[in-house]
């Protein structure tokens, strides 16, 4: 369940980045998946709460 919870958090973060901060010209096929992988990997490391807050503020 920990992976599913982390995946849900990752999805919310990436969706807010991808659809609220990027223009339609920048969004392209596969961008959401690439960002999901990077953010998910980053959240797997220690200091998860700090990183989650840092992503939300930027």
Dump the DSSP string for 25-39: TT--TTHHHHHHHHH
The pLDDT of residue 57: 67
pLDDT band at 56 (very low <50, low <70, confident <90, very high): low
- Asked whether the beta carbons of 40 and 14 are under 8 A apart, the reply is no
Residue 37: domain span: 2-57
pLDDT at 8: 86
Query: H helices of 1-58, where?
Result: 2-20, 31-44, 48-57
pLDDT tens digit sequence for 11-51: 888 787 777 777 777 778 888 888 888 888 887 776 667 76
Number of domains comprising the chain: 1
């Amino acid at each position: 369940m920990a992976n599913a919870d982390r995946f849900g958090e990752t999805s919310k973060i990436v969706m807010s980045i991808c659809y609220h901060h990027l223009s339609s010209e920048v969004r392209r096929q596969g961008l959401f998946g690439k960002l999901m992988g990077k953010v998910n990997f980053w959240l797997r490391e220690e200091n998860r709460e700090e990183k989650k807050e840092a992503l939300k503020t930027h």
